[in-house]
Amino acid sequence: MTLFSPPPPPAPDPRVASLTRMKWLAASLLLASLAGLALAHVMGGAGGWGWVRAFCEASAVGAIADWFAVVALFRHPLGVKIPHTAIIPQSKARIADGLAEFVRDHFLDPAVILAKLTALDPARRLGEWLTAPERVSAWVAQAQRWALGLLDTFDDERLQKATLALIVEQARRWDAAPTAGEVLGLLTQNGRHHQLLDASLLKVSEFLMQDEVKAKVAQLMLKHARKEWPKIIGTLELVANVPDLADGLADKLSASMLAELRDVLAQPGHPVRQRYEAWLKEFIERLRNDPALIASVHDMKERAINDPAVQRYVASLWGDIRQLLRTNLAADNSTLAHYVQSALQTVGQQLAGDASLRDALNEHLLSAAGHLAASLRTGMTEHIAQTVKAWDDQRLVHQLELNVGRDLQFIRINGTVVGGLIGLALYALALLQ
């Protein structure tokens, strides 16, 4: 069965057959009592028939009384609307509220949930679960099958178009400029942007110190000089080696730039840093509040979204990623599956060996469970009450009968037997007088 195949048809409920057998047994005892009573009347009261009549008479009365009591719980006996019958359907609203309140007070009370979770120690149990290689391997294998099934669904062209349309619609709704401003604002907290500037300046310094870079700069300077001042360069070549002069000038230029970069790196208040700081703050503020820049970013976003080349690239990129994932997940030695299994086992080992980590995880789990229980308590209570109230009366009766009807039939059977025994006792007392 694949991940998204329809579920098999439900198996017949065994409670139906069990309830039917018990009803027939109770009804058979009632019929037997009535038959014995009729036979005793025909035979008269002489001899032992008086005892049979006493037993069957009381037994039939007890059976009929208990039948009435049991049936009155669920429906009107023989369809006659006698007061205080069909008690459960008539009390459906009260039952629904009572059931909802019971679940609320005994299952969704935050104190109850937290007490059970504390005793359960979920972090320790999770660690034990993750340290069993065969268990983790089975879970990862199942996850592989689920992931392959999910990837297979995206082979449907209709689903691909719908997904692309959803992504495009969300991208159009995305207010890109303010979001970029918020991201940049986050990245500039605690001087992070200066760390980025330092790393960039170090890379530039390393670049300028390379001999091939200096040689290239010298070539460009010499080429430009020959083009702009050919006579001066021609005259200069009569008395000096111009390429050597260009090399020396390139070395001096590189040294000068390196010195300036070192000053910037060494001085937190360097003017370059101040200008960089001011420019970045101004740019972030403009991303948040400048209508012209916001409109420009929005236009760029729209052009990117509507560009056929971008759409083709995204579609081909997703296709390549999907095929790569499918190939990897379908392999017996899947790299992704191996990494996931290894990571889970590592987490399990850390949980098993680090009590402080377990305590921290339990603390967060308990806090989340408490908030979740508190937020769901009212909603779940109302949902249970409304669901039960919305049930059809016959459905409600049917469900309750399946769960408790078999035991109620024992009441009818006991009433038949106990009634007959009481009849015998009363008959014996009458004979002794």
Q: What digits encode the pLDDT tens for the residues 220-275?
A: 777 777 787 777 777 767 767 777 777 787 777 777 777 877 777 788 888 888 88
The per-residue pLDDT of the chain, averaged, comes to 82
CA dist., res. 336 & res. 248, Å (int): 55
Percentage of the chain surpassing pLDDT 90?
Answer: 6
Q: Which of 319, 280, 75, 79 is nearest to 186 (CA)?
A: 280
Under a CB-based contact definition with an 8 Å cutoff, are residues 37 and 60 in contact? Answer: yes
Q: Which of 419, 426, 409, 424 is nearest to 59 (CA)?
A: 419
**279-298: average pLDDT:** 86
CA angle 308, 310, 316 (to 5 degrees): 100
Query: Per-residue pLDDT tens for 365-391?
Result: 888 888 887 777 778 888 888 888 888
Helices 14-43/49-74 angle, 10° precision? 150
Give me Rg for the CA atoms of the chain.
Answer: 43
**313-324: average pLDDT:** 81
CA dist., res. 130 & res. 195, Å (int): 39
Go through 101-122 and write b for each residue having 16 or more CB atoms within 10 A of its CB, e for each that does not: eebbeeebebeebbeebeeeee
CA dist., res. 45 & res. 27, Å (int): 26
Q: Which of 199, 187, 196 is nearest to 284 (CA)?
A: 187
Q: Which of 297, 385, 313 is nearest to 101 (CA)?
A: 385
SS3 80: coil
Q: Which of 125, 173, 83 is nearest to 352 (CA)?
A: 125
